[in-house]
């Protein structure tokens, strides 16, 4: 969640009859490339807050059109390797960012929260650059994503009642993510999640390099503290706060 100094533009959402009309050049990613997998984590309980965030009324990836077209090109390059992108977060309503800020300041820490930031106090996440009061996600130009090996077997489903190890643990012990092993789980606030971390295995390094190389070819820039976070320079603008709704054909 790289900090951005961006103006907040609060957009009144359209009526249900026109729910598919998105503002500001935004699109549903599935309208650009329905083959890209999606696991929008803030629409459910499998995230560091432990509940759906405000504005995530549906688990849909919404992005600026240019971002979606670039992701489509990345997906096409990965296809011969039997790999797919999996979107973990895309456009993020500003109200959800505000909820993250309140969470970081509430003074509590549950076991589930500990899975995501095992080494830091959550109120330090601002100073350390893991949470920002303004997020590039709200502009539609930043995305969180990982890779899926399409030849691999299915991983177990996430069980919110299970006591998983923290996000830096070996893959078999931490919460299942249905993706390749990048060395940490998604949204892991830890030095091991830094893209160039030296504490990961050679195989984990190869997966990170595969993702970064494919994204960089289409102009995406990675945030050094989060192997999963990429933005497309020149596509950012004001932050938006319209809710994410269910996609309809």
Give per-residue pLDDT as tens, 33-44: 999 999 999 999
**What's the CA gap between 172 and 25, in Å, rounded?**
41
Q: Coil, helix or strand for 93?
A: coil
| 90's tokens | 């895309």
Short-list 128, 60, 70, 126, CA closest to 93: 60
pLDDT tens digits, 116-172 = 988 888 878 777 878 777 788 999 999 999 999 999 988 899 998 899 999 999 999
Rounded Cα–Cα distance for residues 133 and 94 (Å): 9
pLDDT at 226: 96
Domains in the chain (CATH in brackets) are 16-231 (3.30.1380.10)
Number of other CB atoms surrounding residue 199 within 10 Å: 12
Scan for tokens 């100094």, then name that residue: 5
What's the pLDDT score for residue 107? 78
Three-class DSSP category at 130: coil
Residue 156 backbone dihedrals phi, psi, to 5 degrees? -60, 155
Tokens 């100073």 correspond to 127
Q: The tokens of 4 are what?
A: 């951005």
Q: Is-contact 231 70, C-beta < 8 A?
A: no
Tokens at residue 212, please?
Answer: 């970064």
**Inter-axis angle of helices 65-78 and 202-217, nearest 10:** 130
Tokens of 131: 């949470």
The predicted structure's pLDDT at residue 20: 59
Q: In what order do the strands lie in the sheet with 83-89?
A: 37-38, 83-89, 142-149, 226-231, 221-223
Cβ atoms of 229 and 188 within 8 Å: the answer is: no
Mean pLDDT of all residues in 2-10: 39
The Cα 6–Cα 70 span in angstroms is 23
pLDDT category, 15, cuts 50, 70, 90? very low
pLDDT at 14: 39
- Token duo for residue 219: 């102009």
- Comparing 125 with 115, the larger pLDDT belongs to 115
Report d(CA 165, CA 171) in Å as an integer: 9
Q: Is the pLDDT of residue 3 over 50?
A: no
Q: Is the pLDDT of residue 6 over 90?
A: no
pLDDT tens column, 57-112? 999 999 999 999 999 999 999 999 999 999 999 999 999 999 998 988 887 877 77
For the whole model, what pTM was predicted? 0.89
Closest to 144 measured CA to CA, from 182, 112, 115: 182
pLDDT digits (tens, 9 = 90+) for 229-247: 999 997 768 999 999 999 8
Contact between residue 186 and residue 47 where contact means Cβ atoms under 8 Å apart:
no
Q: What pLDDT, in 10s, does the model give residues 174-221?
A: 999 999 999 999 999 999 999 999 999 999 999 999 999 999 999 999
Measure the N-to-C terminal CA separation of the chain; round to a whole number of Å. 31
At 245 the pLDDT is 94
């Amino acid at each position: 969640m790289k900090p951005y100094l961006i103006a907040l533009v609060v957009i009144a959402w359209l009526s249900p009859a026109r729910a598919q009309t998105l503002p500001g050049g935004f699109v549903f990613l599935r309208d650009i490339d329905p083959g890209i997998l999606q696991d929008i984590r803030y629409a459910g309980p499998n995230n560091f807050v432990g509940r759906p965030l405000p504005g995530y009324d549906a688990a849909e990836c919404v992005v600026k059109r240019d971002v979606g077209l670039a992701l489509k090109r990345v997906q096409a390059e990965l296809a011969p390797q039997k790999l797919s992108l999996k979107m973990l977060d895309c456009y993020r309503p500003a109200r959800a960012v505000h909820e993250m800020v309140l969470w970081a300041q509430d003074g509590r820490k549950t076991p589930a929260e500990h899975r995501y930031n095992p080494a830091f106090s959550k109120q330090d996440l601002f100073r350390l650059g893991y949470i920002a009061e303004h997020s590039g996600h709200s502009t539609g130009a930043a995305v969180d994503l990982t890779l899926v090996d399409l030849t691999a077997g299915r991983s177990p489903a996430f069980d919110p009642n299970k006591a998983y190890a923290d996000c830096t643990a070996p893959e078999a012990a931490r919460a299942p993510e249905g993706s390749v092993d990048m060395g940490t789980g998604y949204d892991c606030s830890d030095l091991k999640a830094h893209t160039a971390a030296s504490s990961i295995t050679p195989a984990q390094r190869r997966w990170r390099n595969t993702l970064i190389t494919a994204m960089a070819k289409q102009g995406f820039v990675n945030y050094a503290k989060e192997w999963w976070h990429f933005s497309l320079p020149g596509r950012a603008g004001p932050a938006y706060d319209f809710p994410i709704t269910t996609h309809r054909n």
